[in-house]
């Protein structure tokens, strides 16, 4: 597998809940979680089983220009061959489906969910132009 060199980074007001959602419902795997003594998350890295990953942390621990990142302002596209299975897990968990499951004119089978803090997560089969 090729090493991921692009990592979307998101901030959450409730980072532990975000990790639970992304692992338990979406299907990411915890690679690294750096907890704070108060139970919050300073930094987390989650891997997608089909490649790639995302970094996230609490809005309470942002410094410098990253402190400008607001919870709920992200939009992440995740490539998967298991779109229907991810959609079903999201639906069963009561996750808001912001854009229904559909096929695009460029050949992707896709849907978009909104997490509990407002970030959009689009799951689709489109792997980019060759």
User: Rounded CA gap, 43 and 63, in Å?
Assistant: 12
Show the domains of the chain with their CATH numbers. 9-124 (3.10.180.10)
pTM, full prediction: 0.92
Regions of the chain where pLDDT drops below 50: none
Residue 67: the pLDDT is 75
Residue 106: the pLDDT is 92
Residue 66: the pLDDT is 73
Residue 22: the pLDDT is 98
Residue 98: the pLDDT is 98
pLDDT digits (tens, 9 = 90+) for 43-72: 999 999 999 999 999 998 777 777 777 888
User: Rounded CA gap, 50 and 20, in Å?
Assistant: 19
């Amino acid at each position: 597998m090729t090493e991921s060199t692009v990592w979307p980074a998101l901030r959450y007001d409730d980072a532990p809940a975000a990790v639970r959602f992304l692992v338990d419902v979406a299907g990411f795997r915890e690679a690294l979680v750096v907890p704070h003594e108060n139970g919050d998350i300073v930094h987390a890295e989650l891997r997608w089983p089909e490649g790639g990953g995302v970094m996230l942390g609490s809005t309470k621990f942002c410094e410098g220009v990253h402190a400008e990142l607001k919870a709920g302002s992200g939009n992440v596209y995740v490539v998967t061959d298991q779109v229907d299975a991810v959609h079903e897990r999201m639906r069963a968990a009561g996750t808001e489906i912001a854009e229904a499951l559909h096929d695009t004119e460029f050949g992707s089978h896709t849907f978009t969910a909104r997490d509990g803090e407002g970030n959009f997560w689009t799951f689709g089969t489109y792997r980019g132009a060759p």
